[in-house]
Amino acid sequence: MRLCEEVAMVLCTGRTPGDTPAQPSFRACSNTEPSRLDHVLVGCGLFPAVQSSRVGAHRHESDHFPLELQLLLTVPTLPTAPPPPPVPTPTWVWDSSQRGPYAHALLSGPDKLCCQRLAVPI
């Protein structure tokens, strides 16, 4: 119990639904009485979230029974930021006096084939 005090932990053994009274967690293969050698410790802040703890069913590969802990945790909702204001779309104004230089740039650049297919007059 002193360890729990020093590290701000809570012993769940015998204090939670499903483990009251505390059940044995150890049974040696021969000549021993069952005992509670294994324990569940949780931080003080987590103890209110403990819904139950219990000793699980015996497993054949060990003389220790599994301990099961059920927690109910809530995820805090994060504040949502307002959406950013809309960005105005730029308005392009066609300058018909620049039609020739524009068409020439298109015909001499990588879009030349495209302009020829569309039969854009220069």
Q: Is the pTM of this model over 0.75?
A: no
What's the angle, vertex CA 68, arms to CA 66 and CA 69, rounded to 5? 155
pLDDT digits (tens, 9 = 90+) for 56-115: 887 777 888 888 999 998 888 888 888 888 888 877 777 888 788 777 766 666 555 555
User: Around Cβ 121, how many Cβ atoms within 10 Å?
Assistant: 6
Helix (H) or strand (E) holding 9: strand 9-11
